[in-house]
Amino acid sequence: MDKKVTSSLNEQINKEFFSAYLYLSFANWCEDQGLDGFANWYQVQAQEERDHAMMIVGYLQNNDEHVEYEAIKKPASSWDSALDVLKAGLAHEKYITASINNIYATALEAKDFRTTQFLDWFIKEQNEEETSAGMLIKKAEMIGKEGNGLYMLNQELASRVYTPPTVAE
């Protein structure tokens, strides 16, 4: 494997674990606000991000590449509203999408087609992540900051369950 590709994938592992930390921080803030459904939604997100990191770990290991773990920085822990949390989530997903796109470009430049094929799943996943985050923002903006609408959205988010990703290597 190209060393730049390996290095980029190792950096992505750290970004995915940070994503899990960030979403757990969102969940904690939501729980403190009495938004247990929002908290559930972000706890599921955190599980997904951890799995994304582990998928990359497995890919590197399956290709006899060294996995290098770095320190995970502390995420923010306070927001002004549930809408601010949702917007921060979308901004973070866009950051992750850009990162994966950069790894893909690096792999393509190195003619590492096995890695581009591996990353195809992540590119599709990021489209789903951004779409979901954007729809939550639209719903939250539609209903406002409080009242029955926020309660109903909270109930909707409480019903989300975790489904581990499936990807062929």
Which segment of 31-40, 97-106, 150-159 scores lowest on mean pLDDT?
A: 150-159
**Domain extents for the chain?**
3-158
- Architecture field, domain 3-158: Up-down Bundle (1.20)
| Alpha carbons 89 and 120: distance in angstroms, whole number | 22
Per-residue pLDDT tens digits for 99-124: 999 999 999 999 999 999 999 999 99
- The arithmetic mean of pLDDT across residues 31-56, rounded, is 96
Neighbour-count burial for 156-165, b at 16+ CB within 10 Å, e otherwise: ebeeeeeeee
- Per-residue confidence (pLDDT) for residue 157, from 0 to 100: 74
For residue 158, what pLDDT is reported? 72
Calculated CA dihedral for residues 91, 94, 96, 101, nearest 10 degrees: -160
pTM to 2 decimal places: 0.88
* Euclidean distance between CA atoms 102 and 161, whole angstroms: 31
Categorize the per-residue pLDDT at 150 as very low, low, confident or very high, splitting at 50, 70 and 90: low
| Range 56-60 average pLDDT | 98
